[in-house]
Amino acid sequence: MHKTHGNGTFRLKDFKKIGENVIFEDGVRVFHPENITIGNNVYIGHNTYLKGYYKNEMKIGDHAWIGQDCFLHSAGGIEIGRAVGIGPTVKIITSTHREEDLSKPLIFCDMNFDKVIIEDGCNIGIGTIILPGVKIGEGSIIGAGAVVTNDIEPYTVAAGVPAKLLRRRRKIGKLK
């Protein structure tokens, strides 16, 4: 017997919740939309995968912009805040295989699930990879091609492999 999670086609009524003025470009694929909430005025670019999961949730806040060819896998949960920009080809991963059982191949080992949180007003540069359990603080900027392995403080700029603090941003007022 063969099973599948489907082919990624979706209907708006299948989402847990979906706001107004949500744009899905050609080739967007959505899996487990029943566990995905999308706010108002959200753009999702060409060929992006929103991989909901049979448990945990993916939440995308109002005014988010997600570029083309992104891969968001919410097995551990993903929360994307308001007014977040996510550049093309960004990958957000929320699960890994446990590696302590050396008696079997890694792919057969149990999984760890860790939520990724991207707070309001962040900008995630093109090609960034965000690993499980990371929290990116409000108003932060992640440079192109970074691999984010640890939390990023609010109002900072980080880049590199692994991503490291480059500088702090000056906070002028509260995000609206």
Q: How confident is the model over 72-105, as pLDDT tens digits? A: 999 999 999 999 999 999 999 999 988 877 888 8
Count Cβ atoms below 10 Å from residue 131 Cβ, excluding itself: 18
Is residue 80 domain-resident? Answer: yes
The verdict on residue 67 lying in a domain is yes
Confidence grade of residue 175 (pLDDT, cut at 50, 70, 90) = low
User: Residue 78: which domain range?
Assistant: 13-167
Catalytic residue among 2, 32, 46, 97: 97
| Angle made by CA atoms 133, 72, 128, in degrees to the nearest 5 | 75
7 versus 135: the higher-pLDDT residue is 135
Within 10 angstroms of residue 52's Cβ, the number of other Cβ atoms is: 26
Contact criterion met (CB below 8 Å) for 27 and 6:
no
For the segment 163-168, the average pLDDT, to the nearest whole number, is: 96
Residue-wise pLDDT tens digits, 13-57: 999 999 999 999 999 999 999 999 999 999 999 999 999 888 899
CA angle 147, 40, 150 (to 5 degrees): 20
111 assigned to some structural domain: yes
Reported as type and span, the H/E element at residue 24 is: strand 23-24
- Is residue 7 situated within a structural domain? no
- What three-state secondary structure class fits 56? coil
Distance CA 98, CA 107 (A): 9
Is the Cβ–Cβ distance between 28 and 48 less than 8 Å?
yes
Three-state secondary-structure class, residue 167: strand
Q: How much is the pLDDT for 75?
A: 95
**pLDDT value, residue 53:** 86
Determine the Cα–Cα distance for residues 82 and 135; give it in Å rounded to an integer.
15
If one counts the domains in the chain, the total is 1
Instruction: Give the pLDDT confidence score for residue 176 in this predicted structure.
Output: 61
In a domain, 83, yes or no: yes
| Residue 2 falls inside a structural domain | no
- Quote the pLDDT of residue 108: 87
- Within 8 A by CB and 6+ apart from 20, the residues are 40, 41
pLDDT at 1: 60
Is pLDDT of 2 > 60?
no
63 is catalytic: no
pLDDT in tens, 96-142: 988 877 888 888 888 999 999 999 999 999 999 999 999 999 999 99
Bridge partners (DSSP) of residue 78 are: 58, 116
Model-level pTM?
Answer: 0.93
Structure-model confidence comparison of residues 121 and 171, the more confident one: 121
Q: Determine the Cα–Cα distance for residues 117 and 77; give it in Å rounded to an integer.
A: 8
Give the model's pLDDT for residue 91. Answer: 98
Whichever domain contains 49, its CATH number is 2.160.10.10
In a domain, 8, yes or no: no
Tell me if 90 is assigned to some domain: yes
Residue 54: per-residue pLDDT: 82
Kindly tell me the burial class for residue 56, based on how many C-beta atoms sit within 10 Å of its own C-beta (0-12, 13-18, 19 or more): middle
